[in-house]
Amino acid sequence: MADNTTLPAQVTVIGHPLVRHKLTLLRQVGTATSEFRRLAREISLLMAYELTRDLPIELTEIETPLEVMQAPILAGKKLCIVSILRAGNGIADGMLELLPSARVGHVGLFRDHETLRPVEYYRKLPEDIGDRLVIVVDPMLATGHSAAAALALLKQAGATQLRFACLLAAPEGLEVLTRAHPDVPVFTCAVDRQLDERGYIRPGLGDAGDRLYGTK
């Protein structure tokens, strides 16, 4: 694993014991598709808690069964979760359990296995994305090129408040992403050792999309 003390300041490793425990179960080769999907959803919900701990609040007047009071509620427009297809949906679904009112956008990117560069094939975003906090999700930050490309597309679409969340990151991917977007906070559950010659994270957990949807 990478030494977290050497990570860029914008990178947060979520070290909650429940996250670490569930991630270990998620990594195991014998974890069935249904269990993998459930664990990914549970970890994502816990990640959403960490990503949103500084959301702005305001006071509103409510009436309890006993009296009227000033109570805190979220301020401003609801946030937006943007999934990098297809594997990002496994993270977005978990976050939506905690944030059911969030808007959802999708960016379709696939990795060219020769160049390891992203190729866009789909994009659908809320029209007012520039007014919302946008959480971009993808289970794996490997080479970092897809995440960097997705963030660039969102900035072009008007997004100004961006955060990126993943289950696992490689040092190489973090370097690419933080260099391309030094203004975007990055949240991950672990930083693994390195990429292999195929661009897979080691020790990693395999192909997140295939394991989420049972396609391999």
Global pTM value = 0.91
The dihedral region occupied by 65, where left means phi > 0, alpha psi between -120 and 50, and beta the remainder, is alpha
Q: Is 208 annotated as a binding residue?
A: yes
57-63 and 133-137 strand pairing: unpaired
- Catalytic-residue membership of 27: no
* Annotation says 207 is catalytic: yes
Q: Pick the catalytic residue from 52, 111, 123, 131.
A: 111
With helix as H, strand as E and coil as C, how does the chain read? CCCHHHCCCCEEECCCHHHHHHHHHHHCCCCCHHHHHHHHHHHHHHHHHHHCCCCCEEEEEEECCCCEEEEEEECCCCCEEEEEECCHHHHHHHHHHHCCCCEEEEEEEEECCCCCCEEEEEEECCCCHHHCEEEEECCEECCCHHHHHHHHHHHHCCCCEEEEEEEEECHHHHHHHHHHCCCCCEEEEEECCEECCCCCEECCCCCHHHHHHCCC
Q: Which of 6, 54, 115, 198 is catalytic?
A: 115
Query: Has 146 been labeled as part of a binding site?
Result: yes
* pLDDT tens-digit profile, the chain (216 residues): 555 557 888 999 999 999 999 999 999 999 999 999 999 999 999 999 999 999 999 999 999 999 999 999 999 888 999 999 889 999 999 999 999 999 999 999 877 777 767 788 899 999 999 999 999 999 999 999 999 999 999 999 999 999 999 999 999 999 999 999 999 999 999 999 999 988 899 999 999 989 999 887
With vertex at residue 82, the alpha carbon angle to CA 202 and CA 40, rounded to the nearest 5 degrees, is 45
User: Is 111 a residue of the active site?
Assistant: yes
Q: Residue 172 burial (CB < 10 Å; 0-12/13-18/19+)?
A: middle
Is 43 marked within a binding site? no
Quote the pLDDT of residue 2: 54
d(C-alpha 3, C-alpha 192), whole Å: 9
Tell me how far apart the alpha carbons of residues 91 and 93 are, in angstroms, rounded to a whole number.
Answer: 5
Is 143 annotated as a binding-site member?
yes
What's the CATH fold of domain 4-213?
Rossmann fold (3.40.50)
- Whether 144 has a binding-site annotation, put simply, is yes
| 64: annotated active-site residue | no
